[in-house]
Structure 1
Amino acid sequence: MTDDRWVPPPVLLTVDLVILTLRESRLQVLLVERGVEPYKGDLALPGGFLQHAEEDLITAAHRELSEEADLDVETLRLEQSGVYGAPGRDPRGRVVSVAYLAIAPRLPEPTAGTDAADARWQPVDHVLSGDLELAFDHRRIVEDGVERARVKLEHSALATAFCGPIFTITELQEVYEAVWGIPLDPRNFYRKVQKTDGFIIPAGSARKSATGRPARLFKAGRREVLYPPMVRPSESSNAKEQ
């Protein structure tokens, strides 16, 4: 009598981290230079295998981020952004990766450790355009993470965290332009911001702008979820409006 019991295929589990911040008015992603095979010397997202069967996924994500880039994980709010398990995505075997995303202001320079030869911030647009090649399927993971971050700016007040305590509408607009990757019409942007009650509130006297005109000052309001949302214009419709 044959044994027809089903035997599950061997599957390895990893975590990968998409960490985004704004530096020099550009959206940037944390990348490491791999110090081990496969893809030794190539750029990749920080991440790695679970250490043991009892390790929780979020614990593994925090550990890998600390080990590979020496970032203070307590300052980052990680959220799952996707699961990637296509056959052949990793030459070491059938590997499924759970991706985590964080977008936060004023993150420090990373320091490489463990199996990373280097760690540094890189402009997101260089990754999305293909100018920077990434190991495995990490470009797709970055693409999905960036799109998720862009949606977060549509529906939450996250953008104000990237401004100072007091800011101008222009400074807030620059955050949206950096994350969304498109230029925005100032008049339309101002109108959308003003339509969302509690998003930003006036903060006293004006500041002299580059044009010589005084620019009104604002600070973040109490509203965390934006309604109506700050919907992204398409590049074509935004060009027509301008």
Structure 2
Amino acid sequence: MRNPTIRKLSSFFHKSDPEYEAFLRKHEAKSRGQILWYLSLAVFPGVLMYVLIYPLRETLASWTGLSSHYLQFAILALMASGWHILFPLLMLRYKDRLSFRDSLRYLGFTRPDAKGLLLVLPVITVLFTALSLPYMKYVFPPLNEWLDGIPALHMGEWHIYNQGYYDFPWPLLVIGLIGNFIGEEIYFRGYLLRKVGALRYDWLVISVLFQFYHMWQAPMNWAFIPLALIIPCEILIKLRKNIYVAIIFHLFINMLWGAITLYLVGV
């Protein structure tokens, strides 16, 4: 029999919903080939954006007349707000034959979860931040520096990360933020994570691939790959059965977590 303390902890973090879990299993990939297909979809957008931003950047800037900064933003915003949102919805509609309402249900948008948002998410956020501090202080800096020293991955002064991700007029910025915080969660945690649900350690595989997908800023995100063991977006989705907790955690990571680690450990 399970220890009562463990049972209480499990019931606190885990939201039981057998009907919803059965609904997800009905539409998950069944064969090894299907699973590999969905895993490849996790990498494809990153490869495409890397090619457009690195080897083709100057050519595209010349063709479009856009500055390097705006061109990079356009590529990232269109992919995140377009592909990441439209592809899952179209696949769920025409491949899985789900209605729009059921597609939203599949992605986790129709399941309000006050306990997850108000209790579970803060606890996991604090735990993650505490566990990440030693890594950020001792492991991330040399790994980031080593990756940035690879010519094919180097993020030069021209890179949007150095020029400013949020230095754009607000209408464009809204599109970018929707793609970043909602589009990526829809694509990776709402769609792909559920599709490879039959895969053992599916949460870990998707977490690693999510960091790998950011190959246009590999020195940053690839240096986070070891943290995939404790980055809980995928775990939050699986525990709470909704996508809202992952979106808010993503907001926290991008907007606040870096400032917290910088203040506490200088990185």
TM-score (ref. length: structure 1): 0.31
Which has the greater radius of gyration? 1
TM-score where L is the length of structure 2: 0.29
Bigger relative contact order, structure 1 or 2 (CA pairs below 8 A, ≥6 apart): 2
When you count helix as a share of all residues, which structure comes out higher?
2
Higher-strand-fraction structure:
1
